[in-house]
Amino acid sequence: MQKLQHWFLATRPKTLGIAIAPVMAGSALAWLDTANWSWATLVLTLFSALAIQIGTNLYNDAVDFEHGTDTPARLGPKRASAEGWFSSDQVKLAAHISFFLALLAGIPLTRIGGWPILLIGLSSLAAGYAYTGGPKPIAYSTTGEMFVFIYFGLAAVMGSYYLQTGGLSVNAFLVSIAVGSFAAAVLLVNNYRDLDTDILANKLTLAHRLGRCHSQRLYTTLVLAPFALPLLLIDSGIGTWLILPLLPFALLLARRFRHQSPGPEFNRTLSYTAQLQLLFVLLLIIGLMAID
């Protein structure tokens, strides 16, 4: 039972919502726009997205430990390799299995969506490996937030929409920007918290390039800008304003980010940011369904 618990924690369950939210958002928009909607396609898309994120998390766990970035003294949540729960080779094997399962789920999705879905799927798998692997890992550069914005925002929302409808829409694009902004904010919290220890491991992220003051401003922008979405959506109606009760929560998180000293307390901020994204999408979906 303890091993199962450790494997569960190794997947980083508190952040898995950033894989679920964009698929749900894109699929909900498709529900409103087409009569040929498929539950099977939704399940396969969700499974593939989760498998890719879990594989990325596990691979990151193992490689960061091997690079000396993660140690038992890290400020963030415990990591399987650093804590000695499993060897880095075992964690890497689990990552490979997760990526393989994502690939299997992607085969029928490619048959449905054709080459655009094949391109998204293969590039997502490549990005999962490249996030901490290869000669120039994404996570060790200033491009991490951009990749998260693209794959957990633009690609995931519009890809999910395309699988259900065979096309794209302005609303799907606008929603993908909002969802991707929250996902990028989650990673920014992680990198801001670990800034001092990351520098020692030569992990020079966007937080390092911007510095703490500009990182605070970027985080505020990322969590507040999505609330302009109802003003931009086409034929959205009053239901989309259902997201507004979350605005005080976003303002509170921005304030915490600005005034809290970087440390273990930032783990809560990271978790709350991921929860904000998921709640935002759920309320947006409810609002859109109410219109329909």
pTM value is 0.94
Identify which of 189, 188, 162 has the alpha carbon closest to the alpha carbon of residue 266: 189
Domains and CATH numbers, the chain: 2-291 (1.10.600)
Q: In whole angstroms, give the CA distance from residue 225 to residue 14.
A: 23
CA dihedral 222, 179, 144, 68 (to 10 degrees): 100
Span 84-128, pLDDT tens digits: 899 999 999 999 999 999 999 999 999 999 999 999 999 999 999
Residues of the chain with pLDDT under 50: none
Q: What is the pLDDT of residue 132?
A: 84
Task: Tell me the CB-side half-sphere exposure of residue 81, using CA atoms within 13 A.
Answer: 24
> Alpha-carbon distance 17 to 147, whole Å?
17
Is residue 178 within 8 A of residue 226, CB to CB? The reply is yes
204 close to 223: Cβ distance less than 8 angstroms: no
